[in-house]
Structure 1
Amino acid sequence: MMQWILPIVFLLAGLLAGIIGEKFIFKKLKVFVSNTKIPGSEIIFSSLHRMTFIWFALAGFSAAILSAPIKPDIANLLQKSITVIVLYSVTLVLARLSAGFVNVFTHRTEGVSASLLSNIAKVAVIVLGSLILLQTVGVEITPIVTTLGISGLAVGLALKDTLENLFSGFYLIISKQVRTGDYVKLADNHEGYVIDISWRNTTIRELSNNVIIVPNSKLGSAIFINYHLPVKEITLTLNVGVDYESDLEHVEKVTVQVAKEVMQEIAPQLIANEPYIRFHKFGDFSIDFTLYMRVNEFFDQRIGRHLFIKKLHKRYQQEGIKIPFPARELYMQENSARIEG
């Protein structure tokens, strides 16, 4: 029994060091780094979550094996098992780091999907780490790679839809036809903001906050309008009609002034693109024209139209400009014929 005291001490010391390192040292260091605002610190600490305890515990277990009175072949097997666990944990940390930094990059790069690229980075690191792990423990990986290559065709046929969606997602990102943050309208009249392109689906959030899930392959072959391409700025158009007795020069001046006021409120940076109107029709009750005014993006059309109608109605009343409404005059002719019974 005396021979097992030292191994048990090493094992308990490793567990205790892991608990202290995880609960106290790791947390204190995390708070310190967060306060200093070191770039990437949050990603690093989230990637190392629980790893401090695992590594200290494995170190204690390894020391216990070396000092324990056990057979060499069993000690060898246990040491290989520890090596596998350590390598896998390091691979997992690297996978978390790569996914985290890809997420940071995609959030800083406008229009790049976070989910698909980060998942691909994580899977690539895990696959590469697994191959290195197998090579380290003495497993020949060449037959494995060859077998995977041969069976790839069968897997590809079985996962045809999944792979089609995956490559369609890559195509959408690379071609930049759809980017996260874009406002799109599909052929079936569904519309909203693209919030993510994953390995299988594109997620679109409607203005009502509902979510539309569209398979990447369907979106890649669909007819849709992207209101953020080639630029986010969009022209708001609004049809207006004025009375036939109106002074059209005065109408144009007043309408453009009101449109400028609205632009000053919702899109001051676009004020250089002056609004304008174009008369286009002698209607049944009015002379009709269309206002053209630039706004920041598709959603701003709503608030722009709301403000413009309110301000224009008030200003027209002040200026004595009439907006006619449909009216009909009926002329009835009295029938003077007598009907005798």
Structure 2
Amino acid sequence: MDKSLIWAMAAAFVVIGPLVGIGVRRVIDRLAAKPWARSRSANRMVLGLARDLAVPVAALAGLALGLALPTGLPISPELISKILTAALMLVITFAVSRLAADLITSVVKRITGVSGSVSLFATITRVTVFILGLLITLDGAGVRISPLLGALGIGALAIALALEGTLANLISGIHILASRTVQPGDYVQLDTGEHGWVSDVNWRTTTIRDIPGNYVIVPNSKFADAILTNFHYPAQDMAVTVEVSTGYDSDLDFVEKVTLDVAQQVMASLDVGFTEVEPKVRFHTFGDSGIQFRVVLRTREYADQYLLVSEFIKALHRRYRTEGIAIPYPMRVLRAEGAPIANLV
């Protein structure tokens, strides 16, 4: 056979291989858009694995067919076979590592019941699978991995000593997610004052998004050791107290009735109110200028309390003025030696 024809056929195989892979990937993308594929995570993962493998496997197949022709290249067939096998193993390792990470992420989300990111488990899974695949590839290529494993063990010990803080953050991140006391999406407050929604827990840090929308980055070791309040555990709804006072001349039963009526109306009119629980009024102190009491409302989550309290105070102030209920000003009585009592308002 003519030498130029052989080279043309080899080049054609090398070019056609990736094109076939691109065509297969487009077919997989169309299948992935079907309702039956989107309805189950297993279908999406299998199609994702096939999509990742389509182009590189087809390209390697075309390259193998091209190199199988008698082109006269000064490379032994055994070396070509080892190189192609190693490349195929690396491609499969990369695709399987992504599949394993997606699988672990899906399982963790299903167990925890949250939709937040769990990138820590995904990263650990991806790195572990890739390292195992790389070792298998080296062993298949004829490289003795026993001395390599010994060297890696000694190197790992040195790295562990050098990266003590980083490893502490990694272990703390695993502990945070495994303990399930805090999950992505929970609203938390640390004893150092930081508070917000847990956005992500990765291999080094925990990200908290506060109410203004800023991100607070906390090292996992500090987050795990902090005294923490989780406002979403065991439930998201929470009690909110508002301190109020009324004059000594007020009818307390009437004040309680009017206050509860206003609280119920406000909680029912706002989406943030938790109407399944009745508000409460509790008198607790004979103050300097009036009788003090607290109103206990309930809101659906921590961030909604600000709107609920604001609307309640405005509505209560209007209703007290309409009903003639006094909200006393601060008052103090001073007695001087040999002088009459003076009331200072």
Runs of 4+ with >6 A deviation = 328-331
Query: How many angstroms apart in 2 are the aligned matches of 1:158 and 1:328?
Result: 65
Specify the alignment match of 2:137 in structure 1. 133
Map 1:253-292 to 2 at 5 A.
253-266=257-270, 270-292=274-296
Q: Are the counterparts in 1 of residues 238 and 298 from structure 2 also a CA contact under 8 Å?
A: yes
Query: How many angstroms apart in 2 are the aligned matches of 1:175 and 1:51?
Result: 36
Q: Are the counterparts in 2 of residues 7 and 63 from structure 1 also a CA contact under 8 Å?
A: no
TM-score norm. by structure 1 comes to: 0.86
Q: What whole-Å deviation, never above 9, does each CA across 1:117-173 have from its counterpart, x for those lacking one?
A: 110111111011112212222223233223322332212101111111100111111
Is residue 159 of structure 2 the alignment partner of residue 160 of structure 1? no
Which letter does structure 2 place at the counterpart of 1:325?
Y
Distance 1:76 1:265, change over 3 A: farther
Distance 1:321 1:47, change over 3 A: farther
- Tell me the secondary structure at the aligned position of residue 133 of structure 1: helix
- Tell me the secondary structure at the aligned position of residue 19 of structure 2: helix
Q: What whole-Å deviation, never above 9, does each CA across 1:245-295 have from its counterpart, x for those lacking one?
A: 211111112212222223334468943432211101112222110111222
TM-score norm. by structure 2 comes to: 0.86
Q: Are the counterparts in 2 of residues 169 and 197 from structure 1 also a CA contact under 8 Å?
A: yes
Q: Are the counterparts in 1 of residues 208 and 217 from structure 2 also a CA contact under 8 Å?
A: yes
Distance 1:266 1:94, change over 3 A: farther
Specify the alignment match of 2:9 in structure 1. 9
Map 1:15-94 to 2 at 5 A.
15-22=15-22, 24-38=23-37, 39-40=40-41, 43-44=45-46, 51-70=53-72, 74-94=76-96
Aligned residue among 92, 100, 113 for 1:110: 113
Which letter does structure 2 place at the counterpart of 1:36?
P
**1:50 positional shift:** 6.2
**1:213 positional shift:** 0.7
Query: How many angstroms apart in 2 are the aligned matches of 1:160 and 1:233?
Result: 40
Query: How many angstroms apart in 2 are the aligned matches of 1:220 and 1:328?
Result: 48
Is residue 206 of structure 2 the alignment partner of residue 202 of structure 1? yes
Query: How many angstroms apart in 2 are the aligned matches of 1:173 and 1:11?
Result: 52
Q: Are the counterparts in 2 of residues 183 and 298 from structure 1 also a CA contact under 8 Å?
A: yes
Query: How many angstroms apart in 2 are the aligned matches of 1:198 and 1:280?
Result: 47
Mind listing any 5+ residue stretches in structure 2 that lack a counterpart?
A: 336-345
Identity value in percent: 35
Which letter does structure 2 place at the counterpart of 1:250?
F
Specify the alignment match of 1:240 in structure 2. 244
Specify the alignment match of 2:253 in structure 1. 249
Query: How many angstroms apart in 2 are the aligned matches of 1:191 and 1:143?
Result: 49
- Tell me the secondary structure at the aligned position of residue 245 of structure 2: strand
RMSD: 2.9
Query: How many angstroms apart in 1 are the aligned matches of 2:221 and 2:137?
Result: 36
Q: Are the counterparts in 2 of residues 98 and 121 from structure 1 also a CA contact under 8 Å?
A: yes
**1:179 positional shift:** 1.8
Specify the alignment match of 1:150 in structure 2. 154
Q: Are the counterparts in 1 of residues 241 and 297 from structure 2 also a CA contact under 8 Å?
A: yes
